[in-house]
């Protein structure tokens, strides 16, 4: 690992948290979905924790379970982040934007405006939008993957060209001569591909970091092609063991090398979802309270992970000796072996679930030292450059920042303050203005 200290980030979503029932948690105000103060509070918490950025996923559509489960996304990423940029001064923001359902000019304009107004703290998580529910909102069916990714390459290259189309020193602002701009430095880009094009220029000056950072999530052959060429941040998929996560990081690094870049220009982040309390019992008690309404669906899911037939009537009895004897970790689900290990310790199915065994990311459970140990082991094993906190409820971010971050700092594993003011500086990635000349 080249970096001496780890990077941290957290998720900015619907105002409640990553857990589907977070909106019902005791500490949550049920109106937080529309309450900008909840988002401002999270952004300030992330900044207090010296986080590199908040990651803002976006799924522009409904989901089947919205009758009981809050939508995942913010009301709208750029609008929300415009407020947060004004209410904070250091933390970065990586917002998701579709390469399929935007034109390069409007996306370039929004993200660069956010970058300038936040003084160089913006990033773009470029996604190709393959969900049928989301694409129906644009009057379409899902486009073939190859077409989506062809368009994505064109989009990113044209967006970056637009970002660099206002020359760095173009803004003369000479009151005496009356020259506002040096028009020689503000030139059209005249780029058009098979799917998108733009004349330009974009009338927005450079930000403190030049232009926004590109991020990529999801992997796969096509996704790696995007990340390797353009991204400074890769957000890993759901991996649950160190070996698989390290392998994924290596795939991103080799994609960057193949594109002619230095692998260290691409920072790989992997998720974690801590379940915190003063003791393990308190931590899972807290989580059980939040998951109370989920047992009817989740106990049978746990049964499938263990090769047993379980229903909600068995939620509060530890598995019998007979059940434990016939239980087998489902080889198709990497979370199953941990679920089995916890069940064997004598916890009831409801308690096993409260250990986060079906969360989308590894879930260390217990007091702050346990969470810090997990991150230390993971970082020292070289599985990631940074860790992406998926907080079950927004309040977990406060607990993490106030209780875990100081331990990481004391152990010399995490910085005590920001070294710079821009997102590129937080990440330790190079400046870029316009397209990367190394990428054709």
Ligand X SMILES: Cc1cc2nc3c(=O)[nH]c(=O)nc-3n(C[C@H](O)[C@H](O)[C@H](O)COP(=O)(O)O)c2cc1C
**Residues of this chain that bind ligand X (CB under 6 A):** 57-59, 96, 127-130, 145, 217-218, 220, 222-223, 235, 237
272 three-class SS: strand
Does the CA dihedral 232-238-244-245 come out positive or negative? positive
- Tell the smallest beta-carbon distance from residue 60 to ligand X (Å): 8
Q: Are 213 and 124 in contact (CB under 8 A)?
A: yes
Q: Which CB, 104 or 236, lies closer to ligand X?
A: 236
First-last CA distance in the chain: 29
Q: Which residues contact 130 (CB under 8 A, 6 or more apart)?
A: 142, 145, 148
- Tell the smallest beta-carbon distance from residue 212 to ligand X (Å): 16
Q: Which CB, 75 or 183, lies closer to ligand X?
A: 75
- Tell the smallest beta-carbon distance from residue 246 to ligand X (Å): 17
Q: Which CB, 218 or 318, lies closer to ligand X?
A: 218
Specify whether the backbone of 144 is left (phi greater than 0), alpha (psi in -120 to 50) or beta.
Answer: beta
Closest residue to ligand X, judged by C-beta, is: 218
What is the per-residue DSSP string for 289-311? HHHGGGHHHHHHHHHHHHT----
- Tell the smallest beta-carbon distance from residue 333 to ligand X (Å): 17
Cα 127 to chain centroid distance, Å, stands at 12
Q: Which CB, 252 or 414, lies closer to ligand X?
A: 252
Inter-axis angle of helices 220-230 and 242-258, nearest 10 = 60
- Tell the smallest beta-carbon distance from residue 414 to ligand X (Å): 22
Q: Which CB, 133 or 183, lies closer to ligand X?
A: 133
How far, in Å, CA of 3 to CA of 399, rounded? Answer: 26
- Tell the smallest beta-carbon distance from residue 391 to ligand X (Å): 15
- Tell the smallest beta-carbon distance from residue 203 to ligand X (Å): 29
Q: Which CB, 351 or 359, lies closer to ligand X?
A: 359
Of 129, 147, 149, nearest in space to 138 by CA: 129
Give the pairing type, strands 171-174 and 179-181: antiparallel
Q: Which CB, 73 or 393, lies closer to ligand X?
A: 73
How far, in Å, CA of 168 to CA of 170, rounded? Answer: 6
Q: Which CB, 221 or 311, lies closer to ligand X?
A: 221
- Tell the smallest beta-carbon distance from residue 11 to ligand X (Å): 9
What is the per-residue DSSP string for 362-396? ---EESHHHHHHHHHHHHHTT--SEEEE--SSHHH
């Amino acid at each position: 690992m080249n970096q001496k200290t780890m990077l941290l980030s957290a998720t900015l979503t619907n105002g409640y948290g990553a857990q589907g029932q977070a909106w019902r948690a005791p500490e949550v105000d049920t109106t937080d979905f529309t309450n900008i103060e909840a988002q401002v509070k999270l952004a300030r918490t992330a900044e207090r924790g010296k986080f590199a950025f908040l990651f803002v996923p976006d799924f522009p559509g409904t989901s089947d379970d919205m009758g009981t489960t809050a939508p995942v996304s913010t009301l709208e990423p750029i609008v929300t982040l415009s407020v947060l940029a004004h209410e904070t001064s250091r933390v970065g923001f990586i917002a998701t934007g579709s390469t399929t359902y935007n034109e390069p000019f409007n996306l370039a304009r929004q993200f660069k405006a956010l970058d300038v107004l936040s003084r160089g703290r913006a990033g773009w998580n470029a996604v190709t939008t393959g969900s049928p529910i989301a694409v129906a909102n644009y009057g379409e069916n899902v486009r073939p993957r190859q077409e989506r990714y062809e368009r994505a390459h064109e989009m990113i290259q044209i967006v970056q060209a637009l970002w660099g189309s206002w020359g760095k020193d173009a803004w003369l602002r000479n009151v005496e001569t009356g020259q506002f701009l040096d028009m020689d430095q503000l030139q059209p880009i005249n780029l058009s591909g098979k799917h998108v094009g733009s004349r330009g220029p974009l009338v927005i000056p450079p930000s403190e970091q030049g232009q926004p950072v590109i991020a990529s999530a999801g992997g796969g052959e096509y996704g790696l092609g995007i990340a390797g060429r353009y991204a400074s941040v890769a957000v890993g998929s759901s991996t649950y063991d160190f070996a698989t996560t390290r392998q994924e990081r290596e795939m991103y690094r080799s994609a960057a090398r193949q594109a002619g870049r230095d692998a260290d220009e691409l920072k790989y982040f992997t998720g974690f979802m801590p379940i915190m309390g003063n003791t393990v019992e308190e931590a899972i008690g807290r989580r059980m309270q939040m998951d109370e309404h989920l047992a009817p669906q989740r106990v049978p899911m746990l049964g499938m992970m263990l090769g047993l037939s379980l229903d909600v009537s068995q939620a509060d009895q530890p598995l019998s000796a007979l059940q434990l004897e016939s239980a087998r970790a489902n080889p198709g689900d990497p979370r199953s072996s941990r679920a089995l290990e916890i069940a064997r310790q004598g916890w009831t199915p409801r308690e096993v679930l409260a250990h986060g065994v079906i969360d989308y990311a590894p879930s260390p459970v217990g007091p702050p030292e346990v969470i810090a140990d997990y991150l230390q082991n993971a970082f020292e094993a070289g599985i990631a450059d940074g860790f992406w906190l998926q907080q079950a409820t927004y309040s977990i971010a406060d607990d993490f920042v106030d209780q875990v971050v100081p331990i990481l700092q004391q152990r010399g594993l995490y910085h005590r303050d920001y070294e710079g003011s821009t997102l590129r500086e937080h990440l330790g990635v190079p400046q870029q203005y316009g397209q990367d000349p190394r990428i054709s």
